[in-house]
Chains A and B, each alone.
Chain A
Amino acid sequence: MDPAMIEMLGLSDTDLVKPEPEPTQWSAPFWKAARQHRLLLRRCSSCGTHQHPPYPSCVECSEESFEWVDAVGTATLYAYTVNQFAVPFAFWDDMPYVTAIVELAEGVRMISNIVECDDGVLHTGMDLEVVFDDVSDRFTLPKWRPARQEAR
């Protein structure tokens, strides 16, 4: 960000730090695995439904026992936007960047970024594969890029 703009807006250093996830007791294994470049999903031991985001009990059958399973790491693009103005200041230098709703092969949806992709080839239903972005010393964000058979 331009220093003159930072001064004009009266931004402090902390205003320019990207927000990181604050894991709950139910979601901590997801972030721990992401750090090791694994995409885990929580699956209800009783009815087998994949749950995201994780909550204390299964939103389908209310059971409280779960197992963490590896996701296959593929998804399709459900909706997307290219952010080009008026984003939080910590993300200012990233513009333009894509935020999207992706639907994983397991059926759950997540908000994420589409990376390694020309904006012009983005289209609903395009096949995606997971990549891992080590955004800080503490966190790794799963992101998505076009699957190998898709044009990048």
Chain B
Amino acid sequence: MSKGEFAVIGTGQVPHGNYPERSEFEIAYRVAKQAIDDAGIDKDEIGAVIGAAHIMGDSYNTEMFFGRLPELIGARNCKITASTISGGASSFSLRKTVEGILASGETDTVLVVHAQRFSQFSVNQMATFFAKAGSDPEWDVPYGMTYNALAAMCTQAYLENTGTTIEQVAAVCVTLRKWAMLQPNAMFNTKELTVEKVLNSTMVASPLTSLMCNVLADGGSAYVMTTAEKARRVCPTPVYVLADASEYSHRSITTPRVKDFTEIGDLATIASRAYERAGLGPEDMDIFEIYASYPSVTLMLMDALRIAKPGESGQLVADGKCDPGGPFPISTNGEAMGMGHTGTGVGFGVFVESVRQLQGKAGRAQVDGARFLIENCGGGAFMDCHFTVLGTEVPGA
């Protein structure tokens, strides 16, 4: 990929939360239609439809695998359809799939769709599934491991290694809620949080309380991606993919490539590589669209992104510097803590929010004059990390 070769020109999104009556097909249809309208194109321009697989397999996946989506949205000139999944990192693997299709020249317009309905499953089905999502079925799950326990251990190690306090971790939740309050599609957008409220909520897995743990949600988003050439022709506010950088670390949290939990994996090196490839640095970023799922992981990613000195990110958030109106906006849709956890959709939602910010379409959460931002995603038991720099222009072009 060369810098700024591809661009996103439109997005769609439905409200996130508990919507058991809304099928994945309905979500997929609505978000696709919105994205097509927002992009200002005709559905018959779409040459490929790529879907994010549902993280708990069901009939939606089967239908998607066998070509339902293009037909559902009436993409009569579709040439390619496929599903892509890499857990929480799906927004990245989806986008790389799209870039490959665009680079092939078979089409210059691709629609990407995510739809999720967790509310169809019982509490026990979800508990059982998510115990295995972050933990090895043979070596971890028999010990009563949970996803929250995994994040709790990483939090405990991070606090101990950096001197960050649990109050600062709670402050991340408060900041994310402030952003979510500005988002009409967020699951948690009505009640403000305080550090005390977060700390005093039910202890789940020490040091994580219930308000530091995300909850599963129904939801979905979509976007239209095209070549830079077409984007300039059809869209007044294209958002260019400037650079990205990736690393895979491990399956189980016991076998990470970097054994020190000050960060999980060598996040700082990956972030630096993304900045360098974009020809930009942290000082050029107007927003840091972080997908962490857990508030301590937000801090690890902030350390890696060089927003503050390593280990000082907690203080920065506690000082309100990352709040709406502050100098270092983070996760402006509130990510998993604000939108709810939509499986493969949290990173997808962060990407869509990134595009909206750069298109000036982020509503009350809009960061004025945003030109460049960096976003990330990762999946499994913090198995990988992908940073992407996006911009309203291509530096040096």
Residue B208 interfacial (CB < 8 Å): yes
Residue B254 interfacial (CB < 8 Å): yes
Interface string of A93-119 (1 = CB under 8 A from B): 010010111000000111111000001
Instruction: Assess whether B127 is in contact with A88, with CB atoms less than 8 Å apart.
Output: yes
Residue B59 interfacial (CB < 8 Å): no
Residue B145 interfacial (CB < 8 Å): yes
Instruction: Assess whether A85 is in contact with B143, with CB atoms less than 8 Å apart.
Output: no
Task: Please pick, from B144, B202, B206, the residue contacting A88 in the complex, using a CB distance under 8 A.
Answer: B144
Q: Which residue of chain A lies nearest to B135 when distances are taken between CB atoms in the complex?
A: A111
Instruction: Assess whether A18 is in contact with B160, with CB atoms less than 8 Å apart.
Output: no
Instruction: Assess whether B144 is in contact with A80, with CB atoms less than 8 Å apart.
Output: no
Number of residues on chain A facing chain B (CB within 8 A): 45
Residue A62 interfacial (CB < 8 Å): no
Instruction: Assess whether B142 is in contact with A135, with CB atoms less than 8 Å apart.
Output: yes
Instruction: Assess whether B145 is in contact with A99, with CB atoms less than 8 Å apart.
Output: yes
Q: Which residue of chain A lies nearest to B151 when distances are taken between CB atoms in the complex?
A: A81
Instruction: Assess whether A84 is in contact with B254, with CB atoms less than 8 Å apart.
Output: no
Residue B153 interfacial (CB < 8 Å): yes
Q: Which chain B residues lie closer than 8 Å to A22 at the CB level?
A: 137-138
Residue B397 interfacial (CB < 8 Å): no
Counted as pairs of residues, one from A and one from B, with CB atoms less than 8 Å apart, the total is 126
Assembly CA distance A113 to B143 (angstroms) = 6
Instruction: Assess whether A111 is in contact with B137, with CB atoms less than 8 Å apart.
Output: no
Q: Which chain B residues lie closer than 8 Å to A27 at the CB level?
A: 138
Instruction: Assess whether B252 is in contact with A124, with CB atoms less than 8 Å apart.
Output: no
Q: Which chain A residues lie closer than 8 Å to B207 at the CB level?
A: 81
Surface stretch bound by B, among A9-17, A36-44, A65-73? A9-17
Output the least CB separation between A114 and chain B (Å): 10
Interface string of A122-135 (1 = CB under 8 A from B): 00100000000001
Given the contacts A88-B144, A94-B144, A135-B142, A9 and B124 also touching, CB distance less than 8 Å: yes
Instruction: Assess whether B142 is in contact with A20, with CB atoms less than 8 Å apart.
Output: yes
Residue B157 interfacial (CB < 8 Å): yes
Given the contacts A19-B137, A79-B157, A141 and B143 also touching, CB distance less than 8 Å: yes
Instruction: Please give the residue numbers on chain A whose beta carbons come within 8 Å of chain B beta carbons, in ascending order.
Output: 9-11, 15, 18-24, 27, 52-53, 78-91, 94, 97, 99-101, 108-113, 119, 124, 135, 139, 141, 143
13 of the cross-chain contacts (CB-CB < 8 Å) are: A19-B141, A21-B139, A27-B138, A52-B255, A53-B139, A78-B157, A81-B152, A81-B208, A87-B144, A90-B144, A109-B255, A111-B139, A111-B143
Instruction: Please give the residue numbers on chain B whose beta carbons come within 8 Å of chain A beta carbons, in ascending order.
Output: 122-124, 127-128, 131, 135-146, 148-149, 152-154, 156-157, 160, 202-208, 210, 213, 252-255, 259, 261
